A = this chain, B = another copy of it.
Amino acid sequence: MPRFFVKEENISDDQILIVGNDAGHIGRSLRMKIGDEITLCCNNTDYCCKISSISDTAVVADILSKNKTQSEPGISLVLFQAVPKSDKLDFVVQKASELGAVMVVPVLTRRCVSRPDKKVFEKKRQRLQKIAEEAAKQSGRGIIPEVGEIIDIKEYYELIEGFDLNLFCYEGGGRRFCDIETLKIAKNISLFVGSEGGFDENEAEEASKRGAILVTLGKRILRCETAPICAISIIMNITGNI
């Protein structure tokens, strides 16, 4: 069944209003009609609805039932991704969204070759946010993962203490995911993956000093866009979410 995210302000007790591109998409592209059923989603709640009026700019749907979205993982996983070259971040945001991350935060580290200005990045961020929304719709998520503003690695160090568990993928060696006992019980996890050149030794040392756990992704050298997908898959498996 077609699935769209709606804003809380557009939900009343018995009806939901859909506006913007989604309204046009429902009528024109999907050719849905009055009486058709549709799933609308907001803040981890799925609303099973029946369309009651339809135009190019607005669709109104009657709420038939509502339920907690079944597909959301039981953990909150934030991916900190050192900014990679070209359009690899598009790919990372799409795949992280499918696999269940709640947020992707682009980070500037010492070895980042691509170093966009915060203001210049804002336009790209909006595009990435749309990619996250599309991936969330397609994969049946209960929320749209957020794409954060670009931060410096120094800001990451400060954020570490806000999580139960911080995993830092380091090609210089680290523990295996399986051997981290707290991973099985942590609810609020951060994962940091480097850019093409990986991390500087000092960066890994500082992260470790602040409480992050250095982890290994094995003996094969994964591309910087493969590493987060691999790590998220493993984390979701170990925490019982895949």
Binding site for B on A (CB under 8 A): 70-71, 95, 98-100, 138-141, 176-178, 216-223, 226, 229-231, 233-234, 236-238, 240-242
How far is A37 from B241 in the complex, measured between Cα atoms in Å? Answer: 46
Question: Is B99 in contact with A226, judged by CB distance below 8 angstroms?
Answer: yes
Residues of B within 8 A of A234 (CB): 233-234, 237, 242
Question: Is A218 in contact with B230, judged by CB distance below 8 angstroms?
Answer: no
Question: Is B241 in contact with A98, judged by CB distance below 8 angstroms?
Answer: no
How far is A139 from B217 in the complex, measured between Cα atoms in Å? Answer: 12
Determine which of B70, B177, B240, B241 lies in contact with A237 in the assembled complex, contact meaning CB atoms within 8 Å: B177
Question: Is A230 in contact with B242, judged by CB distance below 8 angstroms?
Answer: yes
How far is A216 from B100 in the complex, measured between Cα atoms in Å? Answer: 15
Question: Is B99 in contact with A230, judged by CB distance below 8 angstroms?
Answer: yes
In the complex formed, the residue of B with least CB distance to A222 is B98
How far is A141 from B241 in the complex, measured between Cα atoms in Å? Answer: 30
Question: Is A241 in contact with B226, judged by CB distance below 8 angstroms?
Answer: no
Question: Is A138 in contact with B223, judged by CB distance below 8 angstroms?
Answer: yes
Given contacts A226-B229, A230-B229, A230-B233, contact A221 B138 (CB under 8 A): yes
Given contacts A71-B218, A139-B220, A177-B242, 7 further A-B contacts (CB under 8 A): A95-B226, A138-B221, A140-B220, A217-B242, A229-B230, A233-B233, A234-B242
Question: Is B139 in contact with A221, judged by CB distance below 8 angstroms?
Answer: yes
Question: Is A140 in contact with B242, judged by CB distance below 8 angstroms?
Answer: no
Residues of B within 8 A of A139 (CB): 220-223
Question: Is B178 in contact with A237, judged by CB distance below 8 angstroms?
Answer: yes
9 shortest interchain CB distances as A-B pairs: A218-B242, A230-B233, A233-B233, A71-B219, A139-B220, A234-B237, A139-B221, A71-B220, A140-B221
Residues of B within 8 A of A216 (CB): 242
Residues of B within 8 A of A141 (CB): 220
Question: Is A70 in contact with B226, judged by CB distance below 8 angstroms?
Answer: no
Least CB distance from A75 to B in Å reads 12
Question: Is A226 in contact with B98, judged by CB distance below 8 angstroms?
Answer: yes
Residues of B within 8 A of A176 (CB): 237, 240, 242
Question: Is A220 in contact with B100, judged by CB distance below 8 angstroms?
Answer: yes
Question: Is A220 in contact with B178, judged by CB distance below 8 angstroms?
Answer: no
Question: Is A222 in contact with B99, judged by CB distance below 8 angstroms?
Answer: yes
